[in-house]
Amino acid sequence: MKMERSEIISVTKKFLSEEFEVDIETIEDDGNLRDTLDLDSLDYVDLVVLIEENLGFKPTAEDFKTVATFNDFYNLVEQKLMNV
Amino acid sequence: MEHRVVITGIGIYSCIGENLNEVLDALMKGNSGIIYDPMRKEFGYRSSLTGFVKDPDLKPFLSRRERMGMHQPAMFAYMSTKEALENSNLDVDYLEKNETGIIFGNDSTAGAVIETIDKVREKKDTTLIGSGDIFQNMNCTINMNLSTIYKLKGINITLSAACASGSHSIGMGYLLIKQGLQERVICGGAQEINIFAMGSFDGLGAFSMNQDQPQKASRPFDRDRDGLVPSGGAATVIIESLESALKRNAPIYGEIVGYGFSSNGDHISNPNFDGQFRSLNMSLKHAGINPSEIDYINAHATSTIVGDKTEAQVIADVFGSKVPVSSTKGMTGHECWMAGASEIVYSLLMMKNDFIAPNINFENPDEDSRKINVVPQFNEKKIDCFLSNSFGFGGTNSSLIIKKYKP
């Protein structure tokens, strides 16, 4: 799957805001992903499912260690999609 | 010291109404909640008849995390419990600070399990199931969800006893409060209603085939009955020690005075005169009352040939021919795991509003039902004491006796 960064951002904002029921405007590039979405350990299980469904790859627990902000997340997605 | 046990909250989400007001109206009018569901025929069901209960939208009430572990049993149970807590004047703050238990009747999560397994079959990867399914799949799904949402700190167990689950849940909660081990227990029963839940039951040939007239299909005690109609939803009955109820000035819907139970120890699906007889007599003995003091019997009668016949024989033997009897399953169909609790709610509404709900579709008695007083139409009557029967597969029997509360 090939996606421009702008598309990654818009797709991600859409599925994250819908699933975790937050206002899409609250998702800012420098915002903390865990805090913004109010994620607990179970939510990360769902996040894996969502990423697989919407972005076509399955992240590992190791991958999430590099992710604090949404920007980090978009970087991860870009990197993963390059290798798909 | 033994405690008197009273009912301080009731709630209902069923095919004849999604709250107490709607259900009261349906009970008084004798409205049926049975429909023909074409999806069942397509799926391979022998009979497409079912009670219809829609999935409630819980988004206005619960967070995403709170909803994730819920499939039909927990969703339905949330709705009935929400109503029961509201009319019992209980909220989360109070429940968190005052030990309250939950014993809920449930005996399947087929819809949830099959949806989960379908995901794994498709993805071939269990890590893509998601976080909520395990809490939907387990039979204690209602307990897990409601005890978390309402911050309950007391007894927390699910009771599985086939079609007597809801009744036994109230009976067991009653015993705990009577003995002083709990002050308050949220009891009830729930029944899922999706196509996956009832296929194997349908396969036994136990369901009515009167598909041209869905609302005439469930006809307990009637000569021309040809089987039950599956149904579902949830009912909640909050029970409490009298001291606790008076202390917090709670409404009192009735007092539980007798609980009887037995196991047939016989055939896995056929009813048994002796088992039902022992359950009924145990409840009367426990309550310390004579059969003549019962003003109304809410029968288990599901509209099957052999089940209704046996229950009519037992009622005739224990109570004779005078005490009014009705099975609300003519209207609701067989609510299975939920039935023992919902029928307490239906009967409490009758007791509060001085009427007996009709045993609809009772047009002609058979040789056994002619020996008891089946009430086919709405009947104004003051009820001070009623008995509710519930019997289930595996030969589990439960009888509850409830009186109007008198200080």
> Domain residue spans in chain A?
5-83
Express each pLDDT in B213-248 by its tens digit: 999 999 999 999 999 999 999 999 999 999 999 999
Domain B258-403 has CATH 3.40.190.10: no
Helix (H) or strand (E) holding B145: helix B141-149
pLDDT of residue B1: 85
Catalytic residue among B140, B168, B334, B385: B334
Task: Give this complex's ipTM.
Answer: 0.93
Query: Domain ranges in chain B?
Result: 5-247, 258-403
What digits encode the pLDDT tens for the residues B184-212?
A: 999 999 999 999 999 999 999 999 999 99
B129 reaches A (C-beta below 8 A): yes
Does B127 contact A at CB distance below 8 Å? Answer: yes
Residue from the list B63, B125, B131 with its beta carbon closest to the beta carbon of A46? B131
What kind of fold does domain B5-247 have according to CATH? Peroxisomal Thiolase; Chain A, domain 1 (3.40.47)
User: Which candidate, B139, B138, B18, B135, places its Cα nearest to that of B76?
Assistant: B18
Set of chain B residues whose Cβ sits within 8 Å of the Cβ of A21: 63-64
Q: Which two tokens stand for residue B132?
A: 């909520």
* pLDDT at B59 > cutoff 70: yes
Task: Examine domains B5-247 and B258-403 and report if their fold is the same.
Answer: yes
pLDDT in tens, A15-62: 999 999 999 999 999 999 999 999 999 999 999 999 999 999 999 999
CA–CA min distance A73, chain B (Å): 19
Is residue A1 over pLDDT 90?
A: no
**Number of inter-chain CB pairs under 8 A, A vs B:** 27
Q: How far is it, in rounded angstroms, from Cα B143 to Cα A22?
A: 28
| Percent of chain B surpassing pLDDT 70 | 100
H helices present in B237-363, as ranges:
242-247, 273-287, 305-319, 329-332, 339-353
Specify the higher pLDDT residue, B180 or A83: B180
Confirm whether pTM is higher than 0.95: yes
pLDDT of residue A83 exceeding 80, the answer is no
Residues of A with Cβ-Cβ distance to B128 under 8 angstroms: 48-49, 52, 58
Average pLDDT score over chain B: 98
Structural element, H or E, at residue B9:
strand B5-14
Phi then psi for B25, rounded to 5 degrees? -60, -45
The span from the CA of B299 to the CA of B14, in Å, is: 18
| Rg (alpha carbons) of chain A, rounded to whole number | 12
Confidence of residue A84 (pLDDT cuts 50, 70, 90): low
Domain A5-83, CATH number (from 1.10.1200.10, 3.30.43.10, 1.10.10.60, 2.40.50.140): 1.10.1200.10
Which residues from chain A sit within 8 angstroms of residue B68, using beta carbons? 42, 46
Among candidate residues B15, B300, B336, B385, the one labeled active-site is B300
Per-residue model confidence (pLDDT) at position A82: 87
- The rounded distance, in Å, linking the Cα atoms of B377 and B55 is 31
What is residue B314's predicted lDDT score, i.e. its pLDDT?
98
Cβ within 8 Å of A, B 246-275: none
Using pLDDT thresholds of 50, 70 and 90, give the confidence band for residue B349: very high
What is the Cα–Cα distance from A31 to A81, expressed in whole angstroms? 22
Does B64 contact chain A (CB < 8 Å)? yes
Give pLDDT tens digits for B92-142. Answer: 999 999 999 999 999 999 999 999 999 999 999 999 999 999 999 999 999
| Cβ of residue B61 closer than 8 Å to a chain A Cβ | no
Which has the closest alpha carbon to B140: B162, B161, B156, B116?
A: B156
pLDDT digit string (tens) for B265-296?
A: 999 999 999 999 999 999 999 999 999 999 99
CA A81 to chain centre: 13
Q: How confident is the model at residue B34 (pLDDT cuts 50, 70, 90)?
A: very high
